[in-house]
Amino acid sequence: AVILAVRDLTASVEGTQILKGLNLEVKAGEIHAIMGPNGSGKSTFSKILAGHPDYEITGGEILFQGQNLLDLEPEERARAGIFLAFQYPLEIPGVSNLDFLRVACNARRKHLGLDELDGFDFDDLVQEKLDVVKMNPSFLSRSVNEGFSGGEKKRNEILQMALLEPKLAILDETDSGLDIDALKIVSHGVNQLTHADNATILITHYQRLLDYIVPDFVHVMEGGRIVTTGPKELALELESRGYTWVQEAEAATA
């Protein structure tokens, strides 16, 4: 089944066109990596999927499980199973991590037609998921991400993901600034959570993450569109030859 279909998407921010005809199809069970030089529009694309209000869609369409995604408010998208892990996760002072997770989890459960979990049942579920990310329970009583290290924020995002069980998870440079141990934990979490019924888009600047999470497809984004798609080996090729190699190859065939 097709989870996400993006066709000829164009979008602008503050009057400047950033996305210039992006096409992408993601099916259930697939992991897609999107690579590409800085400024190519990768984060713009992920924020548009999540419904960030700064971006204006000027053309094309995005279908999520057959439904026009652009009709949905950001909160509705999250409930419907779109999960965006940010490059810089937000801190929410004064809101306990546990409460935050429970509200988000119950909103998602309601959408799925499941019973909301009371405090006790939610505690059981969280304990189970904490093991997946090897996170200390003390992080639950602290304010959301406040004073968390980079690695702890990432772990917390994977915990959110484990609780929300998204249909489509988008991780935007979730590997940036992670040491190797944190990278392994994040990768382990993603690998555990990806199954035949959901899909993952990994946006990354470096090949390193793809040593731990093996994508089915690697896309190169350049100037607001996907210009090259290949198998996982494309990431290695990019690592050794750089993005200019893609640009030259593209120019040669143009």
Give the residues lining the site for ligand ADP (CB under 6 A).
13-14, 18, 36, 38-44, 54
Considering beta carbons, is residue 14 or 233 the nearer one to ligand ADP?
14
What is the helix (H) or strand (E) element at residue 170, kind and residue range?
strand 168-172
Considering beta carbons, is residue 19 or 135 the nearer one to ligand ADP?
19
174 touches which of Mg ion, ligand ADP, none (CB within 5 to 8 A by kind)?
none
Residue 176 found at the interface with Mg ion (CB under 5 A): no
Measured at the CA of 18, the angle between CA 41 and CA 86, to 5 degrees, comes to 35
Cα 252 to Cα 21, 219, 226, 241: the distances in Å are: 20, 19, 17, 16
DSSP of 8-27: EEEEEETTEEEEEEEEEEEE
Q: Output the smallest distance, CB 186 to ligand ADP, in A.
A: 19
Burial class of residue 175 (count of CB atoms within 10 Å of its CB; 0-12, 13-18, 19+): buried
Considering beta carbons, is residue 55 or 122 the nearer one to ligand ADP?
55
Considering beta carbons, is residue 30 or 173 the nearer one to ligand ADP?
173
Residue 43 found at the interface with Mg ion (CB under 5 A): yes
Q: Total binding residues for Mg ion by CB under 5 A?
A: 3
CA torsion through residues 97, 176, 190, 246, sign = positive
Q: Output the smallest distance, CB 117 to ligand ADP, in A.
A: 36
CA pair distance 239, 234, nearest whole angstrom: 9
Residue 38 found at the interface with Mg ion (CB under 5 A): yes
Residue numbers of the site for Mg ion (CB under 5 A)?
38, 42-43
